[in-house]
Amino acid sequence: MDSVPVIRKLDEVVINRIAAGEVIQRPANALKEMIENSLDAKSTNIQVTVKNGGLKLLQIQDNGTGIRREDLEIVCERFTTSKLTKFDDLSSISTYGFRGEALSSISHVAHLTITTKTASEKCAFKANYTDGKLKAPPKPCAGTQGTQIAVEDLFYNVSTRRKALKSPGEEHSRIADVVSRYAIHNSKVGFSLKKQGETLSDIRTLPNSTVVDNVRTIYGNSIARELLEVKSEDDVLKFKLTGQVTNVNYSTKKMVFLLFINHRLVDSTALKKTIEQVYSVYLPKNSHPWVYLSLELDPRNVDVNVHPTKHEVHFLHEDKVIDRIRAALEEKLLGCNTSRVFYTQARLPDSGSMPAPSEVLSSSSSTTVLPQHLVRTDSSAQKLDKFFKPESSSKETKESSVKLSVESVQNCETSPPPVLTSESNRRDIQLTSVLKLREEVEKSGHKGLLDVTSKFTFVGCVNPSLALIQHETVLYICDTAAICAELFYQILLYDFGNFGIIRFSSPLSLYELAMEALKLEESGWTEADGSKEELAQSVKDLLLSRAEMLEDYFSMELDSDGNLVSIPLLLDNFSPPMEGLPMFVLRLATEVDWDKEKECFQGVCKETAHFYSRIASEAVSCSSLTPDSLDETESEEVHDWRWVIEHVIYAALRKNFLPPRIFAEDATVLQIAKLPDLYKVFERC
């Protein structure tokens, strides 16, 4: 192991000439700084553990050189670093960090704990920090060589910053993106990312891997098998380019661009635009590539001290370097354009313009079907169990988080609104915002998938979140949760203002529902957000102020006392899992943009669809039980969700459902077998 570098405080002259004042904006930003410190410490294995999207816990552990015990006293003070001694060193800096601000910034907005051990020390030392200062002398403890940094309760003292962040799930996705990018570039270093308390890792790469191996592990084989290696070098411009880019057979809805300049993760708008222009010649409209580029420049030609987050850099001869990169890409893509390969595994028939909803059922095909493509199935065939609707279990909801009036939630009554007594009495909503949202749904539709979802035969449920369907001679596996969310979203848009009603036998207090939601870890509530009572009251007041609109357009009736009286009936024989009602009420108040009409309607529809689609996740506990272990009530519950998924959810797909194009790209509907291809396999056996 290399000798441990000495950490020293910078001179005032250097401090004044560095763009100081770096701000930790979110958990992913803090993690980026800590990963770079681990890489600077020559780590070969980096493990990241998070809880609640990194807001409750963000921990990183490495096997690097560690921190000397005598340096622990100043390691979290501003402008303390082992990588820079004088300002002129910036011209040849080769490490990620150089200002000595990352740990200091983090310690000002979180509880920071460092446990570290160097090769020369007999034991590890643990130290706690607040506002850049050591709280108590470091304590000896057991530990392996390297450093573990635990960041707890991020932004506990900056409530406005914490409230501005996205949901824990969104923050976790941002963290995963940071880990993925560094794992791709540093393929010789092993990375892992997991949530606290879980045994399986979300991301795990092995040390001494290759870039392609890590791309396959993180992004999937669909990208890895289409990669082309790109190389270019110029002694005059003093740059070297290496990278991996997808060929003309691969495209995605959104470009993924990983750019490292001198091993530093950065962005370059000019370079990204150039790459898009190169690929536009080969890919269909609105399709984009996956690109990873590593650019090594003479450190003297690069200014790394441009931005407080070091996310941007400036370098000399930028236009000429970008032109050379353009030429290298064009040469590589031109050479692979002689043959095109189309995979059917995660792709379905090409998309076209989407018909209006009224045309979906009236469309018919006159194509002649060859005898070898005939199968003995009929999409109109009905099963006997369709006519045996399961009775709702009288057993109380298991482990329900709703402690208030459970009977009124379970024993709700449904009734259609008076305006639906006949088709002629149906309200025709012509709000511009609603029409635009419908237009967006139709523009994003997939013609090939429409044929599948309107004429399929239901095969069976694999589990509550996956189901098998057959269309002609092809078998597909479907993500029920994703399909449910989109189905209910479209129902809410196209039946806007014309819903039936699910009325509770006893009204439910909005305040108490919000209080129950704030007790759940899913809500992400911390003491820094304020008292639960005040937040619950604000939820109640906000929804009451929108009561007239919610009742008129969404059949959500709120009485003057702040009680929820009813919710919309979106499908016959279907009631949403009421365990999700508290979070639904909380998210309605916090996740919807109530100030803009279009965004408001879209947000209410999205959150309502998410609440109604929870059937795929709420039934998981039942599906994990074995038949021998089920009592009579549990057997009814398993039968219940299977019946609803087959005879209510998937039956509704055959009507006016417009499947989006993304379903064909993200494997929501995935082809897993094709009968003619199977015959070919049998013939060879």
Per-residue HEC secondary structure of 54-118 comes to HCCEEEEEECCCCCCHHHCCCCCCCCEECCCCCHHHHHHCCCCCCCCCHHHHHHHHCEEEEEEEC
Count of other CB atoms within 10 angstroms of residue 578: 23
Cβ burial of 37 (10 Å; 0-12, 13-18, 19+) is: buried
Report the distance separating Cα 62 and Cα 41, nearest Å.
9
Chain position carrying tokens 């690097």: 64
Q: 172 is written with which tokens?
A: 């976790």
Q: What is the largest distance, in Å, between two alpha-carbon atoms of the chain?
A: 85
The pair phi, psi for residue 424, each rounded to 5°, is -70, -25
- List CB contacts of 203: < 8 A, sequence separation 6 or more: 176, 179, 180, 183, 191, 192, 193, 217, 218
Report the distance separating Cα 410 and Cα 418, nearest Å.
24
Report the distance separating Cα 116 and Cα 438, nearest Å.
56
Count the alpha carbons within 13 Å of 456 in the hemisphere toward its beta carbon: 29
pLDDT reported for residue 380: 54
Instruction: Name the 3-class secondary structure at 370.
Output: coil
pTM, entire model:
0.49
Q: 557 is written with which tokens?
A: 């009736």
Instruction: Name the 3-class secondary structure at 559.
Output: coil
Q: Please report, as a single letter, which amino acid is at residue 101.
A: E
Report the distance separating Cα 485 and Cα 489, nearest Å.
6
Q: Where is 36: in which H helix or E strand?
A: helix 27-40
Residue from 30, 85, 83, 21 nearest 54 by CA: 30
What domains does the chain contain, in order, with CATH numbers?
12-205 (3.30.565.10), 220-333 (3.30.230.10), 433-617+639-670 (no CATH)
| Residue 434 to residues 97, 235, 554, Cα–Cα distance (Å) | 50, 58, 13
| Residue 614 to residues 100, 120, 338, 467, 611, Cα–Cα distance (Å) | 46, 54, 47, 15, 6
Q: 221 is written with which tokens?
A: 């084989």
Report the distance separating Cα 388 and Cα 372, nearest Å.
36
Under-70 pLDDT residues of the chain? 1-2, 10-23, 79-100, 303-314, 335-425, 616-639, 677-685
The one-character DSSP state at 558 is B
The one-character DSSP state at 647 is I
Instruction: Name the 3-class secondary structure at 259.
Output: strand
pLDDT digits (tens, 9 = 90+) for 449-507: 998 988 898 998 988 889 999 988 889 999 999 999 999 999 999 999 998 899 988 89
pLDDT digits (tens, 9 = 90+) for 261-274: 888 888 888 899 99
Q: 673 is written with which tokens?
A: 């077998």
pLDDT reported for residue 118: 94
Instruction: Name the 3-class secondary structure at 8.
Output: strand
pLDDT reported for residue 205: 93
| 478 contacts 666 by C-beta, under 8 angstroms | no
Q: Please report, as a single letter, which amino acid is at residue 505.
A: S
Q: Please report, as a single letter, which amino acid is at residue 394.
A: S
